[in-house]
Structure 1
Amino acid sequence: MMKHVLASTVLAALASTTSLTSARADDANGWEFDGVPSWSQAGSGDSFTFRGRIYLDAANIEFDRAGVTTAYDDSEIRTARLGVTGQFSGIGYVAEFDLINDQIAANDVYLTFRGDGFDLLLGHMKTPNSLEEQTSSRYITFMERGAGTDLFALDRRVGVALAHRGDNYTVKAGLYGGRPGDLSESLELDDSSAFAARVTYLPVHSDDLLVHLGASLRQMDYGDAGTRVRVRPNTHLTDRIVSADFRPASALGEAGSSTFIGLEAAAVSGPFHAHGEYMTMALDGPASSPRFTSAFVNLGYFLTGETRSYSTSGGTFSRTRPASPVSEGGMGAVELAARFDYSDMNDVAAGELTSWTLGVNWYVEDHFRVMANYVTGELAVPGAANTDVSGPQIRVQWDF
């Protein structure tokens, strides 16, 4: 609880400070106050900028199974993150940490060494899988990513990666070790490891239309710990609706490794955008060698005429800025969106999870957004009563 309060206090203080100083010009030492304090030196290229985000969530979700209703009516500080980014002696750096849930958790903490046509990344970072996962949570369309990113535990790990990009493509691959726990207690990593790679290609990239295609792979070794395949129904303030245990001594058998394959496609045309992905993962170790699949399709439309922004350098979506922010007398940007999401876990008799999410996003300013989602869905398990899911969620999001 104390860390929740601390994170909120620090971020609120930063907000008030930056709002008072945003109009100040650069001083002689290279300092700039444009929303947040930053510093740069033109001669050397050295720089640093404070960065962070805070998401305040609330939800009222119900699980209904065989006439028994479980209600999740709660709120949370979903994310309270602080960090810095910049460059020193030609080496890029990012260091971000979450300060909630009574622990200190590392997020992006890595160095970037820029070479001739390639970048070498070293540190704690996401494995290169899925357009939905690679796009920052600041820029995703819904409060929660597609279920497959949760089901297959696409995450950050300590490792090394090579990245290359052209005018209309990106390639990234890396070798990764384990994940750290609470940094206030230990720097020890678990003994899992992975190889992961992703390629993206833009067959069409014009003023009127952008088409994105991509594919990714992850080969995971779980060490001696095994894994769990589990998922929430596009919510966070609820329990997981499915959990299949493949850890040591599990009745389903221990998972030694897995192979994940993901396909992705997206299009942006004026105020309209579409995005879909298909993911599958096979476990090696359990006698049945189960395979799981998940897929989703998003559709979105900006009523106020904005276009969803895309980063060609990363093959990801990026920040959409309102054409008329509220601070300039406008109404901001308003987006309507819908998603269909499906996951098949029948290989271990865990059923099929189908869900719909309807969303309204209000981009008040470049760095401030309000999101409202309504989730409805069903878990159908062979031989058992279905579990129906429904309810609204809301988020107030600010980042710098």
Structure 2
Amino acid sequence: MGRIEELEARDDAQSAVNLDTAEALKNIQTVQPKVETKGGLKVTSGDGQFSMSVGGRIHFDGYAFNDDIATPTDTTEFRRGRLTLSGTALGWEYKMEQDFAAGTNLDGLRDLFIARSFGKGKLTIGQFKPYRSMEELTSSNEILMMERPYASATGLFNGRQFQQGLGYLYAGPNWTAGASVFNMRNAATARNEGMGFSGRATWAPLMGTEEVLHLGGWYSYEDTATGTPNLSAVANYAGRRGPSLTIANTPGISGDQVTSYGLELAGLYGPAFFQSEYVRAQFGQLAGPDQDVETFYLQGSVMLNGGRKAYKPATGVFGSPRVADTGLWELTARYDQIENKDVSGLEASSWLLGVNYYINPNLRLMFNYTQGDNELTGDETGQYAVRTQFSF
């Protein structure tokens, strides 16, 4: 019996060692960081309290103009060259993004904020896009055409895409409500006392796998004060790096305001997609009455070999289609117009036709033809543009 007891004791000791080893391995797994490489690079601490992901985008463009009165230069450029660092730290989110194609240091800073769940929504503090304009809030990796329409920072909110302040976004299963208050500056703008406010709400009464209907509305108020830059609406009616027309301008020294409101309508039916916004704005003047500006666009696309646009109910925008191994082809079109209702001739419009080829989830090729029309000068310059877009 002594021999049996000795063997049993050894078994018990070995079991204890096995348990200790298993516990030690579990602890090692807990403290070891987790590294993911799907679609990019993401590192998460073993306890899940910290994470970091690295992303980026390269948009390389080429432009050739069909000159009329204006004679812009045929050229190439890096439209965007961004690196993005984002993640979480002890319950807070953070994002830091630098666009090297827009300049170094402050000139190239884009999103730069921290955010946290607060109540039933999310609070954002720092530099980000105010909640206004459906197309403005759509990522440049996922916009339909190479450039956004006039109802965005490409026109109406010229030079005011990113602002510094506070934002709060509350999202339900098929709706959103967001508000932001901000200083009239970004990282590269001189310090000033101008303030702004914007709010946006969206609702998707129809949201299925093949059919989506989106309704939205937004309001923006921008006030000039000491040191505020001029607030202008500018139309690049023949595409980027082409001729432009200033539609309206509120001088920064005027103490006046720019107010605007917009309505959104968008939808998806199988491979077909459309999106439209109508905006009215009022630009205060240093002398004389305020000037009313009206802009609207209608754009759409058809997927030719499967796939469909993705709707994002948490932000109320459409994104890129899910790409299969064979790639996806998309035909695109847009009509875009902006007009100063109080000054004769300050009107511009553009017709755009395009093709997108989604090679894989990270790589897209784009072609756009833009036919511009400057009502003031009669210029009808056109532009052929191509883009190679890589993002991760």
Q: Same fold (TM over 0.5)?
A: yes
Q: Give how far 1:145 is off.
A: 0.4
Specify whether residues 248 and 308 from structure 1 end up closer, same or farther in structure 2 by C-alpha distance, changes over 3 A only: closer
Structure-to-structure mapping, 1:157-176, within 5 angstroms:
157-176=163-182
Aligned to 2:334: 339
Residue 280 of structure 1 corresponds to 280
Q: Is the 8 A contact 1:242 1:350 kept in 2?
A: no
CA drift of 1:353 comes to 1.2
Aligned to 1:93: 94
Aligned pairs for 1:67-216 (under 5 A) are: 69-104=70-105, 105-149=108-152, 150-153=154-157, 155-182=161-188, 189-216=191-218
Bigger mean CA deviation after superposition, 33-42 or 311-320: 33-42
CA deviations on 1:274-331 (whole Å, 9 max, x unpaired) are 000011110223412101011000110010111101111111122322122xxxxx2x
Q: What corresponds to 2:43 in structure 1?
A: 39
Give the secondary structure class of the aligned counterpart of 2:334: strand
CA distance in 1 between counterparts of 2:133 and 2:355 reads 23
Residue 247 of structure 1 and its aligned partner are, at CA, apart by 2.4
CA shift, 1:261, in A, is 0.4
Deviates more, 1:280-289 or 1:372-381: 280-289
Cα distance in structure 2, aligned partners of 1:374 and 1:319 = 20
What's the counterpart of residue 390 of structure 2? 398
Percent identity at matched positions? 25
- List per-residue Cα deviations over 1:59-106 (Å, max 9, x = no partner): 1124423xxx51330110111111211111111111101113443221
Q: Is the 8 A contact 2:65 2:73 kept in 1?
A: yes
Distance in 2 separating the partners of 1:28 and 1:216: 46
CA contact (8 A) 1:270 1:305 kept: no
Say which SS state the counterpart of residue 342 (structure 2) adopts. Answer: helix
- Runs of 5+ unmatched residues, structure 2: 1-30
Separation of aligned partners in 1, 2:264 and 2:63: 29
Change (3 A) 1:87 1:181: closer
Distance 1:157 1:378, change over 3 A: same
Structure 2 counterpart SS, 1:120: strand
SS in 1 for 2:240: coil
- 2:197·2:220 contact (CA, 8 Å) conserved in 1? yes
Q: 1:377 to 1:238 in 2, by over 3 A?
A: closer
- Supply the distance in 1 between the matched residues of 2:238 and 2:214 (Cα, whole angstroms): 24
* Structure 1 range deviating more: 261-270 or 55-64: 55-64
Does the Cα contact within 8 Å between 1:294 and 1:344 map onto a contact in 2? yes
Contact 2:138 2:317 in 1 (8 A): yes
Task: Point out the more displaced range, 55-64 or 159-168.
Answer: 55-64
Q: Find 1:360's aligned residue among 339, 355, 362.
A: 355
Letter paired with 2:114:
L
C-alpha deviation, 1:156, in angstroms: 1.0
Measured in 1, the distance between the counterparts of 2:111 and 2:265 equals 25
Contact 1:145 1:234 in 2 (8 A): no
Structure 1 residue 205 displacement after superposition: 1.0
Which amino acid letter does the alignment assign opposite residue 216 of structure 1? W
- Who is 2:7 aligned against? none
5+ unaligned residues in a row in structure 1: which ranges?
1-26, 325-329
How far off is 1:210 after superposition? Answer: 0.5
Amino acid across the alignment from 2:121: F
- Counterparts of 2:127 and 2:261, CA distance in 1: 22
CA contact (8 A) 2:302 2:330 kept: yes
Q: What residue number does 2:303 align with? A: 302
Quote the Cα distance in structure 2 between the aligned partners of 1:144 and 1:91.
Answer: 33
Cα gap change, 1:42/1:309 in structure 2, threshold over 3 Å: closer, same or farther?
farther
TM-score, reference length from structure 1: 0.83
Note the C-alpha offset of 1:112. Answer: 1.1
- Cα distance between partner residues in 1 of 2:187 and 2:174: 37
1:11 maps to what in 2?
none
Does the aligned pair in 1 maintain the 2:232–2:246 contact within 8 Å?
A: no
SS at match of 1:72: coil
Deviation at 1:201, TM superposition (A): 0.2
Equivalent AA in structure 1 for residue 359 of structure 2: V
Aligned mates of 1:300, 1:319 — CA distance in 2: 12
Quick check: 2:249–2:283 contact (8 Å CA) kept in 1?
no
Q: CA deviation at 1:228?
A: 2.6
How big is the shift at 1:255? Answer: 6.3
**Aligned partner of 1:51 among 40, 50, 55:** 55
2:140 & 2:363 partners in 1: Cα distance?
Answer: 13
Q: Amino acid of the residue matched to residue 220 of structure 2?
A: R
- TM-score after normalising by structure 2: 0.85
Alignment-mate amino acid for residue 92 of structure 2: I
Amino acid at match of 1:139: E
Contact (CA 8 Å) 1:146, 1:234: kept in 2 or not? no
Which residue number in structure 1 is paired with residue 378 of structure 2? 386
Match of 1:351 in 2: 346
Question: Offset of 1:342 from its aligned partner?
Answer: 1.1
SS at match of 2:266: strand
Find the counterpart in structure 2 of residue 377 from structure 1: 372
Between 1:36-45 and 1:218-227, the stretch displaced more is: 36-45
State the Cα RMSD in Å: 2.0
Q: Distance in 1 between matches of 2:275 and 2:37?
A: 36
Show the counterpart of 1:237.
241
CA distance in 1, matches of 2:222, 2:67: 33
CA separation of 1:238/1:297 partners in 2, compared to 1, >3 Å: closer, same or farther?
same
Which whole-Å deviations, capped at 9, do the CAs of 1:3-22 have from their partners, x for residues lacking one? xxxxxxxxxxxxxxxxxxxx
